Amino acid sequence: MTRNIIITGGAGFIGSHLVRLLVNKYPDYHIINVDKLTYAGNLANLSDIENYPNYTFVKADICDYDRMLEVMKMYKVDAVIHLAAESHVDRSITDPFTFARTNVMGTLTLLQAARIYWESLPEKYEGKRFHHVSTDEVYGALELTDPDGVESPFTTAASSEHHHAYGRDFFVETTKYNPHSPYSAAKASSDHFVRAYHDTYGMPVVVTNCSNNYGPYQFPEKFIPLFINNIRLHRPLPVYGRGENVRDWLYVEDHARALDLVFHKGKDADTYNIGGFNEWKNIDIVRLLVRTVDRLLGNPEGYSDSLVTFVTDRAGHDLRYAIDSRKIYRELGWEPSLQFEEGLEKTVRWYLENQQWVDDVTSGDYQKYYESMYSGR
């Protein structure tokens, strides 16, 4: 079946993996990547597929209503998979307005353009879908307690050497929203608008809420690529607080596969949580990264240990995220394909082998941001 699908934010980290997956897997689909190319968007992420006949790039701002409507009409768009967002929590603390603009108003603008276009067609919403890509951060934060209760259903353990849970509570699809950062508050608001467009106008929608992703092409302001790059440059590793915060990590290609499944098979107006059953304290990831990067660079064991620096904590720092992924496993048969140590080594190798990409994306304005973030912290 031919389908014309807009992917917003396709030049970013997760978006570029999703664009690559769909362009390769579905030659009959036309994938239209709509991206503003902020500091986080980079067309080099897609250089391998940029000339494919079923791929088009449109540089545009999702907050520009006329442009969004024009793109919908021009490409006879059947579906939207919406990833474009401001995504970095630290930036949302210093610049909340930009997050409200893109994440809330941008999502609303896109919903309205899709609604006006789809309602103008004879078949209306038939065969249409708006898939909103969201985050587990909308649910708030969990306590660290004795692990108990939810067992991973996955056929492979998340990690070869590590216990996967740091508490008895997990985020499920019905967990009440309780966002704490301007980033998660804006994402929560966008989720509500998507569901409101279903309930009010009958738009076919689906929402996914995923845990922390890692892998190639992640902008090196985020924890894992920032630390890989700092170890390589022998710079301090700024661990917030005591490094006790827990995140549930998932390899980005596994997220992209989950999005493909939910987009095609997820139930209308439903929500699917996506996560790795793979919780790690930040400090344990730092130790693993130091060991892995030193080994791959041929440094003596322990060479970079002294780079670990405990700095002032992030304001409102959520203690623990943990996703219960049993619904997507049970209903759609999805599970992660990689163990964490395997995925992390693959990621470290990619960053060490793609130094030019790292240098390109971290030159210019990013240097100023880096200095303002970490000087005097």
Please answer whether residues 12 and 60 qualify as being in contact, where contact means their C-beta atoms are separated by less than 8 angstroms: no
Q: CA-CA distance, 137 to 298, in Å (whole number)?
A: 37
If one asks whether residue 323 binds ligand NAD (CB under 6 A), the answer comes out as no
Please report, for residues 53, 95, 182, 234, the alpha-carbon distance to residue 377 in angstroms, rounded to integers and kept in the order given. 49, 18, 21, 18
Please answer whether residues 204 and 268 qualify as being in contact, where contact means their C-beta atoms are separated by less than 8 angstroms: yes
Residue nearest to ligand NAD (CB): 12
Letters for 206-245 (x = contact with ligand NAD by CB under 6 A, - = none) are ----x-xx-----x--------------------------
Letters for 92-121 (x = contact with ligand NAD by CB under 6 A, - = none) are ----------x---x---------------
Q: For the segment 219-238, give every residue that binds ligand DAU (CB under 6 A).
A: 222-223, 226, 238
Vertex 156, ends 161 and 168: CA angle to 5°? 70
Instruction: Indicate the SS3 state at residue 169.
Output: coil
Q: CB of residue 163 vs ligand DAU: minimum separation in angstroms?
A: 18
If one asks whether residue 135 binds ligand DAU (CB under 6 A), the answer comes out as yes
Question: Of 76-84, 113-121, 134-142, 152-160, which part binds ligand DAU (CB under 6 A)?
Answer: 134-142
Please answer whether residues 43 and 11 qualify as being in contact, where contact means their C-beta atoms are separated by less than 8 angstroms: yes
Q: Which of 32, 77, 89, 114 binds ligand DAU (CB under 6 A)?
A: 89
275 binds, among ligand DAU, ligand NAD, none (CB under 5 to 8 A by kind): none
Letters for 271-310 (x = contact with ligand DAU by CB under 6 A, - = none) are -----------x----------------------------
Please answer whether residues 262 and 209 qualify as being in contact, where contact means their C-beta atoms are separated by less than 8 angstroms: no
If one asks whether residue 38 binds ligand NAD (CB under 6 A), the answer comes out as yes
Q: Which of 137, 191, 253, 254 binds ligand DAU (CB under 6 A)?
A: 137
Vertex 71, ends 67 and 73: CA angle to 5°? 115
Q: Which of 6, 13, 30, 154 binds ligand NAD (CB under 6 A)?
A: 13
Q: CA-CA distance, 345 to 292, in Å (whole number)?
A: 7
Strand 29-35 versus strand 129-135 pairing type: unpaired
Q: CA-CA distance, 263 to 271, in Å (whole number)?
A: 11
Distance separating the N- and C-terminal Cα atoms of the chain? 54
Hey, which residues are catalytic here? 136-137, 183
If one asks whether residue 340 binds ligand DAU (CB under 6 A), the answer comes out as no
288 binds, among ligand DAU, ligand NAD, none (CB under 5 to 8 A by kind): none
Q: For the segment 130-189, give every residue that binds ligand NAD (CB under 6 A).
A: 133, 135, 187
Q: Where on the phi/psi map is residue 217: left (φ > 0), alpha (ψ -120 to 50), or beta?
A: left
Neighbour-count burial of 338, counting CB atoms closer than 10 A to its CB (0-12 exposed, 13-18 middle, 19+ buried): buried
Q: In this structure, what token pair is assigned to residue 342?
A: 């395997």
Nearer to ligand NAD, 181 or 339 (CB): 181
Query: Which chain residues interact with ligand NAD by CB under 6 A?
Result: 8-9, 11-15, 35-38, 40-41, 61-63, 83-87, 102, 106, 133, 135, 187, 210, 212-213, 219
Residues in touch with ligand DAU (CB under 6 A): 87-89, 135-137, 211-212, 222-223, 226, 238-240, 245, 247, 282, 314, 321
